[in-house]
Structures are given as C-alpha cells and as structure tokens.
Amino acid sequence: AAILLKLGGYGLIRISSMLNPHPPNLMFPIMVLALWGILMTSSICLRQTDLKALIAYSSVSHMGLVTAAIIVQTPWSLTGAMILMVAHGLTSSALFALANTNYERTHTRTLLLVRGLQLAFPLMSTWWLLTNLTNMAMPPTINLLGELFIISTLFNWSSPTIIITGIGTLITATYSLYMFLMTQRGSISTQFRLLPPTHTREHLTLTLHLLPLGLLILKPALISGLFT
C-alpha cells in the first residue's frame, strides 16, 4: 500500500505528461471517477469492521486526490501530488505497522472485539493518535501541505470541486477519529487483560515513520522541488 500505489502514481505522472494537453474526452471521465472515488472509498471506511481493510480503503481515498491532481497537469498540482504520495506512503505504512502490533497480541482485526488498548499500551496509544492526526492532515504535517496544493489547484480548475474535496476531507477526519476511538478508548475486554508488552523495535519503526513526516515540513522542497 505504501509503495505500490505510489509507483502507480509515478506511472501516471510519466504517462500523462506525454498526453499534454489532454483531450477533453479523456480528461473529464477520469477526473469524475477520481473525485467520485474519494467520496465512495471514504464512505466505505466509515462502515468497516476490519482494521486493515479500513486502512487500505483510506489509501485508495488519498490516491483519488493524487490522480485528480495529476490529470490537471499544472506545476502546483504535480507538486501537491508528489508531496501527498510521499507523506501518505509514510502514514499508511505506519498505520499498517500499528495494526500489526495489535494483531500480534490480540489475534483479531475486528474493531468491535478489541477496544480500550490505551489502558494496556499508553505509549502505543500516543503513536496511534499522532498517526491518525497525520492521516487527517492536521497542521503542521506535510500531508496538509500536499492537500492544500491539490485542493487549491482543483478549485482553480473547476470551483465546484471544492464541495467534493471538502466533504472528502471531513469524512477522512471522521473515519480517522473513528479508528482511533474504536481501538484505544472504552473498556478493555477481560480476555485481553494480560497482553505481552510492546517492544523497542516497534517504537523504533514508528519513530522512523513519523520523524521524517515532522522534519519534511521544515524543508518541503526536498520532495517538491521537481516541479517548482
């Protein structure tokens, strides 16, 4: 999810530059599908009971924004697409790593069965909170910069797109908070009272995911300079 989707985005950038300027009969159907896919996959996330399926659909939703930005083919849109692909690659990988730490201890991915893990793993709950805030593009993360580039470009291309991107952003915040509350808050089940502790390697893995996200906002040109 973190790498293969981004290889697809890179392929779209390489191919779409050959088709510049885009013929209208090719551009509009793909743009409509990309924007509609943002709403549909985000809405699917709200009904997921499987933790890994929720994270996977979240990746598809974010790639809808990237696809729409690549189709517009402006320097700002391509810059936003590159930033969001790098940022979401790290965020998605961190979410899957967190989901795996839960699965290794509880042996289930069902959200309704595993709740209240904040009581058992308070430090891991902090990683969950930071990663979910990054997933919903809270400032000062690099995800926010990428989404601002893309949303402003799409608005400049066609002003009604602000409705779809705005709703998509709200749904993203909703399912990110839903994922955090379902896994971390509430009362823990009696069968999960005695869980093995978290390991240093797991915290190191998450640090290596979130530290670059925090540092890239200090110099975003490292991942956006190709098109600026």
Identify the band that residue 221 occupies on the pLDDT scale cut at 50, 70 and 90: confident
For the segment 35-48, the average pLDDT, to the nearest whole number, is 91
Nearest to 112 by CA among 48, 46, 195, 198: 48
Chain length of the chain = 228
DSSP 191: G
For the segment 99-127, the average pLDDT, to the nearest whole number, is 87
pLDDT at 127 over 90: yes
CB-count burial class (<10 Å; 0-12, 13-18, 19+) for 186: middle
Percentage of the chain modeled with pLDDT above 70: 94
Report the C-alpha gap between 208 and 159 in whole angstroms: 38
Q: Return the structure tokens found at 158.
A: 């066609």
Is 0.85 surpassed by the pTM of this model? Answer: yes
